[in-house]
Amino acid sequence: MGGVTLLLFPIPTFLTLYFVEGIEPLEILELDNLLVDPLALGIVVGMLYAVIALAFMQSSVFDPLPNRVETMVKRMNLSIWDCFFLAICAGVGEELLFRSGVQYYLGPWITSVLFVAIHGYLNPFNWRMSLYGIIVLPFILIISFALEEFGLWFCIGAHFSYDLVLFLMMRAVAIEEQS
């Protein structure tokens, strides 16, 4: 699934922006803005928000959720390499699709809500899952609004590090529970 996210998710962005707006794929990638400072800042922001989200996720209010993210990660039996790979795939693929593509047309507010909803975190039939969505939404709004100021690579770094911290922490818990 990671490879699909990395390779296929950006295609609608590249095609739409190229054929509708005349923006070249290399412009979309913002390779000239691939600088250490915004990328590093994004990584720090993502890590900090992941720690905050993890703290909230430990609340007993989330215990009844049948498809907790931790349970899914545990079932996947991820190696450390898998955690890095999936975090890179999500960071690059999803940010190209949502921040560079969808947000170009819908703006940061609608794109952020859509992003969280598509992930299943805004569920009108499950208030606990929606509560998790409300926890995640500010992070997505931060990276959405940061796009203009700090660029795509800030967003990719933040998304990557957020997912990486979650994957690594959930992997550690799964290993601890097995022993």
Q: Each residue of 138-159: pLDDT tens digit?
A: 999 999 999 999 999 999 999 9
Query: What single letter denotes the amino acid at residue 142?
Result: I
The total of other beta-carbon atoms located within 10 Å of residue 66's CB is 8
Task: Name the residue with tokens 């967003």.
Answer: 155
Give the integer Cα–Cα distance in Å for 31 and 59: 40
Domain count along the chain = 1
| Predicted local confidence at residue 126, as pLDDT | 86
Residues of the chain with pLDDT > 70: what percent?
A: 94
The total of other beta-carbon atoms located within 10 Å of residue 122's CB is 20
Give the integer Cα–Cα distance in Å for 94 and 8: 10
Mean pLDDT of the chain: 91
Predicted confidence (pLDDT) at residue 11 exceeds the cutoff of 90: yes
| Predicted local confidence at residue 76, as pLDDT | 80
Structure tokens at 77: 């039996």
- Give the range of the structural domain holding residue 161, as residue numbers without chain letter: 2-178
Res. 13 pLDDT band, cuts 50 70 90? very high
Dump pLDDT digits (tens) for 16-65.
Answer: 999 999 999 999 999 988 889 999 999 999 999 999 998 988 888 877 77
Name the nearest CA neighbour of 159 among 120, 108, 115, 102. 115
Task: Give the residue with greater pLDDT, 132 vs 67.
Answer: 132
